Amino acid sequence: MSHIDILKTDAVEAETLTGETDTRKAAAQIARWGPSEVVLTHRDGVLVLAGWQILRSALRLEKLVGRSGRGDTCIGSYVARRLSGSPQDATIWAAAVTSLKMEAEGPIKRTMSEVQDFIERVYAPA
């Protein structure tokens, strides 16, 4: 695992790998094995361990229709955003894209502008 930059897992897979039910502890254990960043999805959202800092972003669904492919959507959107943004920015982006993807069956069909508008509307600090 020392050759992996970013590893994505879900809570069940992380528990199987580490024996930890606490997602923070599981992500930390996986990071000790080598990956620079760990992206861990769970029923409520996305947890990222980057630079030994825990980042979280909730899934914010208006409706739940499509669950299939959410992990792929999450890691794909995280990595794409991470290429030009911070881990915090990528964590929020991944949670937002995944939330929007789960509102319909199949792959996400939203534009980057729609995702950004969703973030500004739903993820903006109160």
85 vs 101: CA distance, rounded Å? 21
Which tokens hold the place of 99?
A: 């939330």
Q: Read off the pLDDT band of 61 (50, 70, 90).
A: confident
For range 13-26, the mean pLDDT: 97
What local confidence, expressed as pLDDT, does residue 62 receive? 77
What pTM was estimated for this model as a whole?
0.91
What local confidence, expressed as pLDDT, does residue 65 receive? 66
Domain that holds residue 119: 6-123
If you compute the radius of gyration of the chain from its CA atoms, what whole number of angstroms results? 14
3-state secondary structure of 12: helix
Q: Does any domain span residue 96?
A: yes
Other Cβ atoms closer than 10 A to 101:
26
What local confidence, expressed as pLDDT, does residue 66 receive? 56
What is the count of structural domains for the chain? 1
CATH number, domain of 113, equals 3.40.1190.20
Name 1's Cβ contacts closer than 8 Å, sequence gap at least 6: 7, 30, 33, 34, 35
Q: What residue type is assigned to position 41 of the chain?
A: T
Q: Does any domain span residue 33?
A: yes
Q: Does any domain span residue 71?
A: yes
Residue corresponding to tokens 């879900």: 10
Q: Read off the pLDDT band of 49 (50, 70, 90).
A: very high
* One-character DSSP codes across 60-116: --S-----TTHHHHHHHHHHHHHTTS-HHHHHHHHHHHHHHHTTSSSS----HHHHH
Q: Does any domain span residue 1?
A: no
